[in-house]
Amino acid sequence: MSETFKKIQGYLLDLGISIMEENKEETYFLVSNENEGISNMMIACDDPIIIIEQYLFSLKEKDPEILCNLLQKNREIVHGAFVLDESGTKVIFRDTLQSENIDLNELEASINSLTLLLGEYSNSIIEFAKL
């Protein structure tokens, strides 16, 4: 088990975030905090970076207006950004952090960025998911 994996595990427990699944060999966690809108968030400890991903919704059609809106919203997000998966249909919140100097505050800020985004932008996300 990598040192980063152990460190992130401890931080998640300190933050009160539920670890739903962990894989020590592949060094990732699936975590949830339903009160904050986080469900099956993946945190991968892939030294030298930590990758945080939360699936949000699937695009039924590649609507340029939705994609433009998501890109514009990226400018306002403090940590992380909206991205598309390889298929170009799944919208994901993604953030990457350096593992070398990671601390509790940095991980918390990244996760809080998503919960803040979900709080202020959820109506738009729901509408995009319906289209």
Q: Decide: 77 and 117 in contact? Cβ < 8 Å.
A: yes
pLDDT in tens, 9-66: 999 999 999 999 999 999 999 999 988 889 999 999 999 999 999 999 999 988 999 9
Asked whether the bond before 64 is cis by omega within 30 degrees of 0, the reply is no
Closest CA to 45 of 26, 30, 19: 26
> Rounded to two decimals, what is the model's pTM?
0.93
Percent of the chain with pLDDT over 90: 90
The mean of the pLDDT values for the chain is 94
- Domains along the chain? 3-130 (3.30.1460.10)
- Give the span between the Cα atoms of 6 and 109, in whole angstroms: 19
